[in-house]
Structure 1
């Protein structure tokens, strides 16, 4: 059966900008990169200690292939130190919303270079 999340595709306006955002501002590592044509690459990034990757795929290329699949992904990231992650993102110029402390856990929403939002929650 399914044992883990392997890859999550994010459809981005500019692959270089997206790659820079995830590597430089969030500290992810480049896991794989391969050209797919003159102006298109397959780019995978992810946290250093995780095998799950984000595929940064060209939104315009996918819209030409199959416009129906270019929907915003729902991605929830996890951390064991939410406060430190929040402060680091703010220091790196990442747009973040206020921290939410709920009975079931703490979390906050952050935005990438294209305005897509993601949730970061704290794992116990």
Structure 2
């Protein structure tokens, strides 16, 4: 039996701003955008060409917020981290620092429009 990761839910305060960030700055594509209840939408974005999608789900008003000091447990990888860092930074994606080579490989941390941190590594 094989089980694959299909989607990861990212709880956001502002779906429109999150959609703009992930499509305009990161370059993901919208795979689903439809109403989901009276005040929210079901929005899915994925890397061009497919892969695991992100669900940009509106957090409820009483939900705890993610700590901005800690990364989300969503990790991204790329073929060329230096080039990807340059491209994303040019589009306005903030990084904690340029990519660094660690003993286990290349690494960088970027932030989304709400200040959540995500890990980027090189394949």
Same fold (TM over 0.5): yes
Q: Deviating runs (4+, > 4 A) in structure 1?
A: none
Question: TM-score under structure 2 normalisation?
Answer: 0.87
Of the structure 1 ranges 29-38 and 16-25, higher mean CA displacement relative to structure 2 is found in 29-38
C-alpha root-mean-square deviation of aligned residues, in Å?
1.8
User: How many corresponding residue pairs?
Assistant: 118
2:66–2:116 Cα contact (<8 Å) kept: no
CA deviation after TM superposition for structure 1 residue 50, in Å = 2.3
CA deviation after TM superposition for structure 1 residue 2, in Å = 4.6
Q: Unpaired runs of 5+ in structure 1?
A: none
Question: TM-score under structure 1 normalisation?
Answer: 0.86
Kindly indicate which of the two structures has a greater share of residues assigned to helix: 1
Q: Secondary structure at the match of 1:60?
A: coil
Q: Unpaired runs of 5+ in structure 2?
A: none
1:86-113 Cα shifts (integer Å, max 9, x gaps) = 0011101111022221121101000000
- Which position in structure 1 is the counterpart of 2:103? 103
